[in-house]
A and B are shown apart, each in its own frame.
Chain A
Amino acid sequence: GAGVSQSPRYKVAKRGQDVALRCDPISGHVSLFWYQQALGQGPEFLTYFQNEAQLDKSGLPSDRFFAERPEGSVSTLKIQRTQQEDSAVYLCASSLGQYSNQPQHFGDGTRLSIL
């Protein structure tokens, strides 16, 4: 079956531009997570959805970051007024159950470069 799909795979933007990153989770997966991964580091938690409800956004680094999952399936991570420090790989993961104690399945990520 299809895995987690993310688009675009690569995004280059100029500082100050807005970007939108898309995640299409595995069908039927309740939970959806966004992570930010810097070079040489492990993924850092950004936000979590259970169906359409955003239950935890404590990892979002600033109010320039916004995520939504309006119909409980596809999710979009939006970054406004991008800064160079936003350059990273953004990973989306989904899991079948409600909590992060279940295995998460990752997409291939979006590599974001801010010039």
Chain B
Amino acid sequence: EVQLVESGGGLVQPGGSLRLSCAASGFVFSSYSMYWVRQAPGKGLVWVAHISRDGSATEYADSVKGRFTISRDNAKNTLFLQLNSLTVDDTAVYYCTKGSDAWGQGTLVTVSS
């Protein structure tokens, strides 16, 4: 069974940083591109970042480019998202997803002073 378990969310002040993790199991992690998607409270879904199978290629939504960094450790079956220079507009549940066919439960990031 495919499982994606996010962690690392929490309350952070504007301008602060967080590192999100996503532990993957039940599939060959290194064979799949991976993604982060976020959902602000009461709002819709928005793609944030993508990383290729070997980590050599990454892409970002314009809203996070230069502030967020996606990475992966295929030896540990783990996906990461480093969030820097956070603003209140980054407040959201962040989901790790294997394409669109498997999703984690999400981790809440709240940016507030």
Q: Do A and B come from one complex?
A: no
Give the interface of B toward A (CB within 8 A): none
Give the interface of A toward B (CB within 8 A): none
